[in-house]
Amino acid sequence: MFWDFHNNNQEGVHCLMQLFGGHGIPVSLRNVNGFGNHTYKFGKSEDGTFKYVKIHFKPQDGIKNLESDEALRLAGEEPDYHIKDMYNTIELGDYPVWTMYFQVMDPKDAETYRYNIFDITQTWPQRDYPLRPIGKLTLNKNPENHFQDVEQAAFSPSTMVPGIGPSADPMLQARMFSYPDAAHYRVGPNYQQLPCNRALHVYSPYQRDGPMRVDGNYGGDPDYVWSSFRSMRLGPMRLGPPDVAHDEWAELWKIFKETGEDKRFAKNVAAHVGKALPEVQKKTVEMFSRVDKEVGEAIQRELDELEKQGGAGIEHDKAPVTG
């Protein structure tokens, strides 16, 4: 079946040549040459520009490999050879190190390159896109408990830090869904709470509830970010520049004025937002003032009128303030 599969799915020939060639059996896990199949987007949030990137890890101790007859002997005499070698090396303080490299491609190049750069059966020739050294990966600690630290570990290419995003790579898109899905079944719905999977600094109130939740479940926080009730160090997200309205918003207000909908709109908004906390009302008026100064003024007049009427129909909802 192995060879029948490849005979009929020949896009894996490059992988077969690696597997049965000189790089197929490493002397040690410390000598493994690591490179990612997938193409990622590394970008700037300020202006939306990005580059396509492939990631490589080259062992500092060099790429070293075994001959097949020696590997066969070790498999029979010492089947845990690789595991023991890695464990003992770390325990002795001779930490394995890999240098991380990027291959970087401009999006314009991708449009005209000689093959589809999102095809994981292809590699980017280093003569076209040389390796750029970026940093180091050092393994400096052995697991304290195999089940806790290894068996429960759940990795996924969908776990990204700001600045890194997925490309149109179809296999990457599939794995971003399938890996977490498998972890939900294998480890549990709250597997990212576990120490081996937990991010050091993260705030994601979207992901909460479910069995075995033991970390406070974000308390009474709203189930969205950028809430007025919880301060965020990065500051509020804006829909646009603070004093510039989007054209379509201003145009819609003009239509409202022409059709007489402006008064109804202001009255409806005031009746609804008037039940919110005063500081929330103020921010709502500020938001609509960015569409047009008149919009904010119209809503504020309606709010003032409701207040004069003794707050008829207005009962400020009490929202929990946390953090």
pLDDT for 240-249, tens place per residue?
444 444 566 7
pLDDT tens for each residue of 208-243: 898 888 889 999 888 888 888 877 665 444 444 444
What's this model's pTM, rounded to 2 decimal places? 0.74
At the topology level, CATH places domain 2-142 in Catalase HpII,  Chain A, domain 1 (2.40.180)
pLDDT in the model for residue 315: 54
Q: Where in the chain is the domain with CATH 2.40.180.10?
A: 2-142
CA distances from 279 to 22, 58, 100, 238, 283 (A): 68, 55, 48, 18, 6
Q: Say what the pLDDT of residue 318 is.
A: 52
Query: What percent of the chain has a predicted confidence (pLDDT) above 70?
Result: 91
Residue 313 in this model has a pLDDT that exceeds 50:
no
- Report residue 56 as tokens: 């490589």
Q: What angle do CA 217, 221, 226 make, to 5 degrees?
A: 125
**Could you tell me whether strands 164-166 and 132-138 are parallel, antiparallel, or unpaired per DSSP bridges?**
unpaired
